[in-house]
Amino acid sequence: MMEELDLLKKDWKKSETNFQQKTEGDIYRMLQQKSTSIVKWIFYISLIELSLGILLSLMLSFTKYDKDNVEFIKEIGAYSYYVAISIILYAVVLYFIYKFYSMFKKIAVDDNTKKLMSTILKTRKVVKQYIAFNLSAFAFIFIAAGSYGFYKGYSTGIVTNGELTKIPMEVTIIGIIILIVVTAVLTCIFWLIYKLIYGWLLKRLYVNYEELKKIDF
Amino acid sequence: MSNSLEQSFVKQLKENQNIIHKICRLYTSGEDAHNDLFQEITIQLWKAFPKFRGDSKFSTWAYRVALNTAITLYRKSTRSIATIEFETTRHFIKQEDYNFEEEEQIKLLYKAVHQLNDIEKALVFMYLEDKDYEEISETLGISEVNARVKMNRIKGKLKKILNP
């Protein structure tokens, strides 16, 4: 018996004349259209993500225009940390933008399939690390700023009462727990949105990449 | 300059368009989806064309870009989830070589191939196009031996679908 695929091959060759041929005009028109490839999606989504990080850094640097903030930071002796964190944030953002750009340039549709997929996934990974960094920076800053607010609010309360007592232990603990829970919830929401977007965008790519790896183990 | 580049591209694409049609046929169902993927492949080819040096034939290069687009870059648009079956795009066979049993088998085979996953389809496609295992392995980025092993598994899978 003839092999199944060879039977198909016979028919495959015959059916070649069957396609409705595109004219040169059709092809020119297609060249005017925009691509809808996932690489393009990744590019735009990554741009949004990168700018979110920049926004965060900007927001942080605006705090220095508030005299009270700076005074307070200096007062508690954290000014050098504050400056260091700002510099690190900017440096990291710049590093990631550069890395993203150079990885993105490496995506070549005429590479072999496995390499193309792995380059796309590596580009994704850069942005993923960037987001992870930003989320931890966000969590850290949120907790730091929150503790500051808590401390400040509490001490104002004390002054109006005309008493100068230490913050009771329970209040501190409850305050810290609330802060941590709020931070965790916010971080989780971001993370979830993130997973959803990429799950939707890259599911097929992951499946195919796994399949290729399985063939080649 | 860029105009003559475009002209040469359009001319070569027109001559080799059946490569793209065949890939669209394997990876989509329905005319809308077919044209959608055709367009995306055309755009990807055009974007990569300035890098095409002519070391290889246009067709060889186009195979690779077109397959990559279908497997990796293309996002099926929702409107392309059509239910039109493969047979609707089938051609007419001349009366003299009409063989009912064989025709039925071929229909089933097309259906079976459509059920394979994206990577398996790529292997089947290159097999149907008479590509050797060297080219198959280079295109997909897997070893030649493993491409062979996988191809044999696919053949077994198809046999099973046809003779349960």
> How far is A120 from A124, CA to CA, in rounded Å?
6
For A69, residues 6+ apart whose C-beta sits below 8 A from its C-beta are: A63
Q: Are A113 and B61 inside 8 Å of each other by CB?
A: no
Q: Are A16 and B22 inside 8 Å of each other by CB?
A: yes
Interchain contact B146–A (C-beta under 8 A): yes
> How far is B112 from B121, CA to CA, in rounded Å?
10
Instruction: For residues A85-95, give the mean pLDDT.
Output: 85
Tokens of B158: 């198809």
Asked if residue B21 and residue B10 are part of one domain, the reply reads: yes
Question: Which of B21, B61, B150 lies closest to A110 in CB terms?
Answer: B61
Which candidate, B39, B133, B74, B104, places its Cα nearest to that of A22?
A: B39
Asked if residue B101 and residue B72 are part of one domain, the reply reads: no
Asked if residue B92 and residue B79 are part of one domain, the reply reads: no
Find the angle CA(B115)-CA(B120)-CA(B125) to the nearest 5 degrees. 95
Region of residue B163 (phi > 0: left; psi between -120 and 50: alpha; otherwise: beta): beta
Give yes or no for residue B97 having a pLDDT over 80: no
Axis crossing angle, helix A113-161 with helix B58-68, rounded to the nearest 10: 40
* pLDDT tens digits, one per residue of A38-58: 999 889 988 888 888 778 777
Interchain contact B125–A (C-beta under 8 A): no
For A9, residues 6+ apart whose C-beta sits below 8 A from its C-beta are: B127, B128, B130
Asked if residue B161 and residue B99 are part of one domain, the reply reads: yes
Asked if residue B6 and residue B51 are part of one domain, the reply reads: yes
* pLDDT tens digits, one per residue of A142-153: 787 777 777 777
Instruction: For residues A159-172, give the mean pLDDT.
Output: 66
CATH code of residue B115: 1.10.10.10
Radius of gyration of chain A (CA): 27
Give yes or no for residue B107 having a pLDDT over 90: no
Dihedral sign, Cα of residue A117, residue A122, residue A125, residue A127 = negative
Dihedral sign, Cα of residue B140, residue B141, residue B147, residue B150 = negative
**Of B26, B61, B83, at which residue does a domain stop?**
B83
CATH code of residue B30: 1.10.1740.10
Q: Please classify residue A144 by burial: count the beta carbons closer than 10 Å to its beta carbon, then call 0-12 exposed, 13-18 middle and 19+ buried.
A: middle
Amino acid at site A110: D
Complex ipTM: 0.83
> How far is B76 from A36, CA to CA, in rounded Å?
9
Could you give the C-alpha distances from B157 to A150, A157, B98, B125, in angstroms and in order? 66, 76, 27, 15
Question: Which of B18, B106, B141 lies closest to A115 in CB terms?
Answer: B141
Question: Which of B48, B140, B158 lies closest to A109 in CB terms?
Answer: B48
Asked if residue B52 and residue B7 are part of one domain, the reply reads: yes
Q: For residue A1, what pLDDT is reported?
A: 45
- Number of independent structural domains in chain B: 2
Instruction: Find the farthest-apart pair of alpha carbons in chain A and give their distance in angstroms, rounded.
Output: 100
Asked if residue B51 and residue B13 are part of one domain, the reply reads: yes
A200: nearest CA in chain B?
A: B75
What is the least distance, in Å, from the CA of B120 to any CA of chain A?
Answer: 9
* pLDDT tens digits, one per residue of B109-153: 888 898 899 999 999 999 999 999 999 999 999 999 999 999 999
Question: Which of B40, B64, B77 lies closest to A35 in CB terms?
Answer: B40
Instruction: For residues A52-77, give the mean pLDDT.
Output: 72
Q: Are B158 and A31 inside 8 Å of each other by CB?
A: no
* 3-state SS class at B132: coil
Asked if residue B109 and residue B54 are part of one domain, the reply reads: no
Amino acid at site B122: A
Q: Are A45 and A201 in contact (CB under 8 A)?
A: yes
Give yes or no for residue A108 having a pLDDT over 60: yes
What is the least distance, in Å, from the CA of A214 to any CA of chain B?
Answer: 10
Asked if residue B60 and residue B92 are part of one domain, the reply reads: no
* Total CB pairs under 8 A between chain A and B: 158
Question: Which of A27, A38, A207 lies closest to B42 in CB terms?
Answer: A27
- For residue B152, the enclosing domain spans 85-164
Q: Are B40 and A216 inside 8 Å of each other by CB?
A: no
Asked if residue B77 and residue B10 are part of one domain, the reply reads: yes
Asked if residue B164 and residue B89 are part of one domain, the reply reads: yes
Asked if residue B21 and residue B2 are part of one domain, the reply reads: yes
Q: Are B75 and A109 inside 8 Å of each other by CB?
A: no
> How far is B64 from B23, CA to CA, in rounded Å?
11
Interchain contact B80–A (C-beta under 8 A): no
Q: Are A96 and A56 in contact (CB under 8 A)?
A: no
**Of B36, B63, B83, at which residue does a domain stop?**
B83
- For chain B, the average pLDDT equals 84
Residues of chain B in contact with residue A109, where contact means CB-CB under 8 angstroms, are: 44, 47-48, 65, 68-69, 73
**Of B83, B118, B139, at which residue does a domain stop?**
B83
